[in-house]
A and B are shown apart, each in its own frame.
Chain A
Amino acid sequence: QKEVEQNSGPLSVPEGAIASLNCTYSDRGSQSFFWYRQYSGKSPELIMFIYSNGDKEDGRFTAQLNKASQYVSLLIRDSQPSDSATYLCAVSLTSGGSYIPTFGRGTSLIVHP
């Protein structure tokens, strides 16, 4: 079982809707959680990071963390066609005293007009 799990999708939502992306992880010692967006042929770019349980909002994006359930999610409000991309969840997993950001396989999001 992979240490960071994401549904590969694609997740298809209409323009203006809320897109909900989910991620589960295996290491209870994980401290940091990140969401990256990756357009086809490009490198990942950071959208959100969260360290504490609860919600963190930034513009149209909200990250939600539940450490007890080992679950982190990303909500995108008022989805736009330009949000169509692959969304990567990364979790800092403990490894020999260091934290190694470990990625899921990504969820493909399609926002259709």
Chain B
Amino acid sequence: GAGVSQSPRYKVAKRGQDVALRCDPISGHVSLFWYQQALGQGPEFLTYFQNEAQLDKSGLPSDRFFAERPEGSVSTLKIQRTQQEDSAVYLCASSSDSNQPQHFGDGTRLSIL
């Protein structure tokens, strides 16, 4: 498809489990961003890739969060030893340049029980 694709759309995990969220950006977009959005809040920045390079990971809340984009296309956000406070919608966005408008995927709604 032509848009940003995220999978899974919904993920339920037990506290302590590891999860992996996938993002397939628009073809040719070098910039890829991950955001976390809690209910009633705006998206909070997690991390930014330019091609395969992770240029900014200052928004990752703890060392349990890890992101990669090994070939400069698909990205995976991994959360280890999940906690209840990790429950949120995780949004992926891509753009042709970090200063250009972003295109968002539908998000992954993560629920930690």
Contacts and interface: CB of A to CB of B under 8 A. Distances in A.
A98 B103 CA distance: 18
A46 B99 contact: no
Interface string B90-111: 0101000011111111110000
Name the prevailing secondary structure of the A interface residues. Answer: strand
A42 B104 CA distance: 10
Given A95-B58, A101-B33, A88 B101 contact: no
Given A43-B107, A44-B104, A88-B43, A101 B56 contact: no
B56 A100 contact: yes
A34 B105 contact: no
A105 B56 contact: no
B72 to A, nearest CB: 16
A96 B43 CA distance: 20
A98 B101 contact: no
Task: Name the interface size band of chain A.
Answer: 20 to 34
A20 to B, nearest CB: 19
Nearest to B3: A43
Given A43-B91, A95-B58, A96-B56, A101 B102 contact: yes
Contacts of A95: 56, 58
Interface string B38-74: 0011111100101000011010000000000000000
Interface in A69-113: 88, 90, 92, 95-106
Nearest to A51: B99
Contacts of B106: 42-43
A45 interface: yes
Contacts of A100: 33, 45, 48, 56, 98
Given A4-B42, A99-B99, A101-B102, 6 more contacts: A43-B107, A98-B56, A101-B93, A101-B98, A102-B45, A104-B42
Interface of A: 4, 6, 8, 31-32, 34, 42-46, 49, 88, 90, 92, 95-106
6 contacts: A8-B40, A43-B91, A44-B104, A100-B45, A100-B98, A104-B42
